[in-house]
Amino acid sequence: MSTAELADRVAALMSAARRDLAELVGFRSVADPDQFPPEECERCAAWVTDAFLDVGLADVAAPVTPDGSKAVFGQRPGPPGAPTVLLYCHYDVQPPLGEDAWETPAFVLTERDDGRWYGRGAADCKGNLVAHLTALRALGDELAVGVKLIAEGSEEQGTGGLEALIEEDPALLAAEAIVVCDTGNFELGLPTLTTSLRGVANLVLTVTTLRGPLHSGVFGGPAPDALGALIQMLAGLRDEEGDVTVAALPEPLPWQGLDYPPERFRRDAGVLEGVQLTGTGTVAEMLWARPALTVLGIDAPPVSGSTMAVPAQARARISLRLPPGIGADDATRALRGQLESAAPWGAEVELELEGSADPFVGSTSGPAFAALAAALEEAYGRGHVTQGQGGSIPLCNTLQRTYPDAEIMLIGVEEPGCLIHAPNESVDPTEIERIALAEAIFLSRLLK
């Protein structure tokens, strides 16, 4: 089938794609029972199961993974001797982060005047799921390869359900090529292959100095302030330029890929006028080739309701993003060691490892990579670029370790305007259409 014929088929399916996405966004599939009823994920998994059957997949099942979530799986064999391609996405989403911050309802797909479709998960990652379904509908029976499709149910929680399932049953997702649809383009309309991901080391730091809070007038001065100790320890993790100063971290690898102009980053990130970017490297280096430390949250007396008391205990959640070349175990040891040695006044320090993942480097050559790059260029009508991504997808490391000979590539409908994980998440429908077309082109060609 020609590219023009496939493009016509995909275009004709976009109204169905919108209906699919509207139904998917309507499920409040946050895989955290403390925030949303588990029935929401159950209902979404049932919808995905029906959709897999509708696009002609066989052996469709929704096994319960070791973390309690369901991973929906289906497959279709290719012609004799043809390779198999695994397509990945996830159907769980981030919580809305305050529905009052949304201009339209978080769980109602809404088209606004800018033409974008708004709703939680519209891009990350239900939009990618819809792109998979649209590509398979466009192809019908005209597949040159075998296809396996997996939709994870707990990716956003990082609880490792699918990773554990793969370790239990490696044959389930075995394939010669793996397309992870959970990233996106450097900018709207620019076809992009993501070739590296940062790893992560998350710690929760607790500092205790007193048996309990003390009146700041009676005891303040000599009484050691736990919040002050915490602030001092956190301040030592970065220098005045914003560079990470965890001394024992290995040297990262140099960045040799796509540039990211500072003015573009300021616009994409919404940096306020007059506020400087942090770090002494280029934006691309700081994002994709250097460690990045963020204090995600602090437990301390809130301003409203606080009393005139010396805090006895304070906590912080710290995230250290890791570029290729710095492993999670090394980073965790380095961060733990620096925090323990930096505690002032003999303060008691407790460090809890919340989670970690190694960085990932995907395929940059090979027949599948070349075929997918060419398919992206045909679908978008322009040359492709490669980029790193600052986020982490621990599953990719499991896939690489389990299937070392597979080519692993990352694409998707997400681009900076999507505001994934933030209020008012959206997707540009042209990205769903083009990614679906690129995937259809890719799957219609035999990978040699």
Q: Where are the domains of the chain?
A: 3-197+359-443, 200-252+290-356
This prediction's pTM: 0.88
- Percent of the chain whose pLDDT exceeds 90: 92
pLDDT for 86 equals: 98
Q: What is the mean pLDDT of residues 263-269?
A: 93
Choice among 97-101, 172-176, 292-296 with the minimum mean pLDDT: 97-101
Indicate the residue type of 396: C
pLDDT for 253 equals: 79
Put the strands of the sheet holding 348-357 in their side by side order.
292-299, 313-322, 199-208, 348-357
pLDDT for 81 equals: 92
**Secondary structure (3-state) at 442:** helix
| Residue 348: active-site member | no
| Residue 285: active-site member | no
Choose, from 20, 40, 124, 155, the residue flagged as catalytic: 155
Burial of 445 (C-beta count, 10 Å sphere; 0-12/13-18/19+): middle
Angle at 9 between CA 6 and CA 14, to 5 degrees: 125
**Could you read off the pLDDT of 280-314 as tens digits, one per residue?**
999 999 999 999 999 999 999 999 999 999 999 99
Query: Count of CB atoms within 10 A of residue 270's CB?
Result: 9
Choose, from 20, 40, 92, 431, the residue flagged as catalytic: 92
Band (255; pLDDT cuts 50, 70, 90):
confident
pLDDT for 448 equals: 62
CATH superfamily for domain 3-197+359-443? Zn peptidases (3.40.630.10)
Return all residues near 240 (Cβ < 8 A) that are at least 6 apart: none
Burial of 257 (C-beta count, 10 Å sphere; 0-12/13-18/19+): middle
pLDDT for 391 equals: 81
Topology alike, domains 3-197+359-443 and 200-252+290-356: no
Greatest CA separation found in the chain? 83
CATH number 3.30.70.360 given to 200-252+290-356: yes
